[in-house]
């Protein structure tokens, strides 16, 4: 394996300008940083600052920052065009040789303005193409995803082993979701002692690939067993993460329990049950970052705070204009969502009539499955001026929707944590949501939102009717808004469990028992 040593040298972030200086010796500092900070490497396929398809990006961006007072957390991400062309300089700091079918690649370092350090895995042939991190603009997965994400996993293991010449090696590696599932696996197969944590953000995306990929990715034959990463005749990157990490977390306590049952376990419930019985699976609720403050958010048409309902109404007027809705004093419901089966958008179509007949309106923003997008366009056509749909996504419009709406509709069939309901509460929009996963853990029924039990229109409609009734009682509505805005699911409340987990895995005597 080539370990060409490099000296950190500024270069531009434009694709074709990346040069790779060589000829210097690597200087690896394995020792711990000052104080009691541990060096933690996050491995992820999305980061809100650079590239985002959903909630994973938000967590990947917010959690390292929230942990930064306690630990030196850095992030490894593939060098997609959105990363390379983000406008911040990237310095080449390391290189990795080819291994089997995994090509040689470089490692760049990108320092975000607030100091978050990102290592960028640079491989034009694997990552520099138009589309999402996972596929083309038509939603087709890239056929070489096994190689793309195996390369990411192996790169992380090489960084952990100190063989990537980047002058930094983590004490612990924290890998996120199936794209980083091979991180703990390669670490184990290489005999590394560095502990690893694997977080499941969504068990439904399992990173399945054919058994034929085994050799080219350097996967040992003994790993192709149902106690490791074999899953019904395939290899699963997600299962690899679960199998080989020293500890597995997911993003809420309720989802951690749910995934050990056949209803939510996506075929892995038995395997996860064993992990849970061994004390190797736990749930830590996500948080939101401090930028979610309606009093200061610059995306909003007008800032507001508790009791300043006129400020909130100004955002509602703006949303109505943006979505082509008729001026109205009635309740405004919003949907801010990836448009996939999980999110129960079909159920929302089923309650639209109830909302419109009660004088309510619905504004929907999101993108995803083409069929769901078409269904929503039809819904808007059926209720002109009452239902507005924007297929697409941008942060400003999403924040205005949270700020302008009275209620957020989130009838998810399952929801590992969910962030939209936390954002909505912070902006005084009461979630109407299914009692599942993180929704159950972050919404107090009748206090900060409305929960329903069954994933069907009838159960959902009943919750919508309760919301409509509260809208008719302004005092109660405003009291609920205040409670929701005060819920405060900030990351600072979630970092203690991560800190305890890291320290326990690192054998820190001071780590207290994990209490989540
Ligand atoms: N079409 C779109 N394109 C881009 N961004 C969009 C979008 N639609 C919504 N978003 C944004 O993505 C985030 C949505 O995050 P969620 O946690 O609600 O769901 P998601 O299913 O993506 O995340 C998964 O991972 C997170 C993080 O752990 C878990 O909370 C969640 O339950 C799990 O399903 C919000 O910031 C929202 O504004």
**What ipTM, to 2 d.p.?**
0.96
Q: What rounded mean pLDDT belongs to the chain?
A: 91
Report the 3 state secondary structure along 20-54: CCCCCCCCCCCCCCCCCCCEEEEECCCECCCECCC
DSSP 335-378: EEEEESGGGTHHHHHHHHHHHHHTT-EEEEEEEE-HHHHHHHHH
Domain membership of residue 514 (yes or no) is no
pLDDT for res 11: 29
Residue 19 pLDDT exceeds 60:
no
Residue nearest to atom 5 of ligand 1 (CA): 54
Is 58 a pocket residue for ligand 1 (Cβ < 6 Å)?
yes
Is 421 a pocket residue for ligand 1 (Cβ < 6 Å)?
no
Cα(254) to ligand 1 centroid in Å equals 18
CB 506, CB 195: distance < 8 Å: yes
193 annotated ligand-binding residue: no
Do 280 and 319 lie in one domain? The reply is no
Cα(423) to ligand 1 centroid in Å equals 11
Is 434 a pocket residue for ligand 1 (Cβ < 6 Å)?
no
Output the domain CATH number for residue 48: 3.40.50.2000
Summarised one tens digit per residue, pLDDT across range 160-188 is 999 998 999 999 999 999 999 999 999 99
Residue nearest to atom 28 of ligand 1 (CA): 201
Q: What is the DSSP letter of 222?
A: G
Summarised one tens digit per residue, pLDDT across range 51-91 is 999 999 999 999 999 999 999 999 999 999 999 999 999 99
Q: Among candidates 278, 197, 275, 265, which has minimal Cα distance to 231? A: 265
Do 124 and 145 lie in one domain? The reply is yes
Residue 103 pLDDT exceeds 50:
yes
Q: Which atom of ligand 1 is nearest to the CA of 421?
A: 18
Do 497 and 469 lie in one domain? The reply is no
Domain membership of residue 168 (yes or no) is yes
In residues, how long is the chain?
Answer: 516
- Which residue from 50, 54, 376 has its CB within 8 A of the most atoms of ligand 1, so it is best to mutate? 54
pLDDT for res 2: 30
Domain membership of residue 8 (yes or no) is no
Summarised one tens digit per residue, pLDDT across range 483-505 is 999 998 999 888 999 999 999 99
Domain membership of residue 443 (yes or no) is yes
- Which residue from 49, 419, 494 has its CB within 8 A of the most atoms of ligand 1, so it is best to mutate? 419
Exposure on the CB side of residue 334, measured as CA atoms within 13 A? 33
Q: Among candidates 147, 128, 139, 148, which has minimal Cα distance to 51? A: 128
As for how many domains the chain has, the answer is 2
CB 108, CB 93: distance < 8 Å: yes
Do 193 and 267 lie in one domain? The reply is yes
Domain extent, residue 254, equals 15-288+493-505
Summarised one tens digit per residue, pLDDT across range 144-153 is 999 999 999 9
CB 300, CB 330: distance < 8 Å: no
* Alpha-carbon distances of 221 from 215, 217, 224, 229, 231, rounded to whole Å: 8, 11, 6, 11, 14
Is 237 a pocket residue for ligand 1 (Cβ < 6 Å)?
no
Residues 473-485 have a mean pLDDT of: 98
Summarised one tens digit per residue, pLDDT across range 318-350 is 999 999 999 999 999 999 999 999 999 999 999
pLDDT for res 396: 96
Percent of the chain with pLDDT over 90: 88
């Amino acid at each position: 394996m080539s370990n060409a040593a490099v000296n950190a040298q500024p270069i531009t972030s434009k694709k074709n300008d990346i040069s790779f200086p060589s000829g210097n010796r690597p200087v690896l500092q394995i020792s711990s940083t000052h104080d009691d900070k541990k060096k933690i490497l996050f491995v992820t396929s999305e980061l809100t600052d650079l590239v985002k398809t959903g909630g994973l990006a938000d967590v990947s961006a917010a959690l390292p920052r929230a942990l930064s007072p306690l630990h030196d957390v850095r992030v490894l991400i593939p060098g997609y065009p959105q990363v390379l062309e983000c406008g911040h300089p990237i310095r080449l700091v390391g290189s990795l040789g080819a291994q089997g079918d995994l090509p040689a690649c470089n490692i760049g370092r990108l320092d975000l303005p607030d100091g978050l350090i990102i290592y960028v895995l640079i491989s034009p042939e694997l990552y520099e193409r138009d589309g999402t991190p996972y596929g083309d603009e038509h939603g087709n997965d890239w056929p070489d995803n096994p190689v793309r994400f195996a390369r990411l996993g192996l790169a992380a293991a090489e960084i952990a082993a100190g063989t990537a010449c980047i002058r930094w090696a983590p004490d612990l590696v924290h890998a996120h979701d199936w794209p980083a599932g091979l991180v703990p696996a390669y670490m184990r197969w290489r005999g590394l002692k560095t502990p690893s944590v694997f977080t499941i953000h969504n068990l439904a995306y399992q990173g399945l690939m054919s058994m034929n990929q085994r050799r080219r990715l350097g996967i040992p034959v003994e790993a192709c067993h149902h106690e490791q990463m074999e899953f019904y005749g395939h290899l699963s990157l997600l299962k690899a993460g679960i199998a080989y990490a020293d500890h597995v977390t997911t993003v809420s306590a309720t989802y951690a329990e749910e995934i050990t049952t056949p209803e939510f376990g996506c075929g892995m419930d038995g395997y996860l049950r064993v992990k849970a019985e061994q004390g190797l699976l736990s749930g830590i609720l996500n948080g939101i970052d401090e930028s979610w403050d309606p009093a200061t958010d610059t995306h909003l048409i007008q800032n507001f705070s508790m009791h300043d309902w006129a400020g909130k109404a100004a955002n509602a007027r703006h949303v109505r204009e943006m979505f082509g809705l008729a001026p109205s004093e009635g309740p405004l419901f919003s949907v801010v969502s990836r448009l996939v089966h999980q999110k129960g958008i079909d159920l929302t179509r089923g309650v639209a009539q109830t909302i419109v007949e009660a004088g309510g309106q619905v504004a929907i923003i999101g993108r995803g499955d083409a069929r769901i997008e078409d269904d929503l366009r039809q819904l808007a056509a059926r209720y002109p001026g009452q239902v507005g749909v924007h297929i697409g996504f941008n942060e400003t419009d999403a924040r205005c929707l949270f700020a302008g709406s009275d209620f957020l509709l989130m009838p998810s069939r399952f929801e590992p944590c969910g962030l939209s309901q936390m954002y909505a509460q912070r902006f005084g929009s009461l979630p109407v949501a299914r009692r599942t996963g993180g929704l159950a853990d972050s919404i107090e029924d009748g206090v900060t939102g409305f929960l329903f039990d069954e994933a069907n229109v009838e159960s959902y409609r009943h919750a919508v009717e309760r919301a409509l009734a509260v809208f008719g009682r302004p005092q109660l509505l405003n009291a609920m808004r205040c409670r929701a805005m005060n819920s405060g699911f900030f990351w600072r409340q979630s970092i203690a469990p991560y800190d305890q987990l890291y320290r326990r895995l690192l054998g820190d005597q001071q780590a207290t028992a994990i209490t989540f």
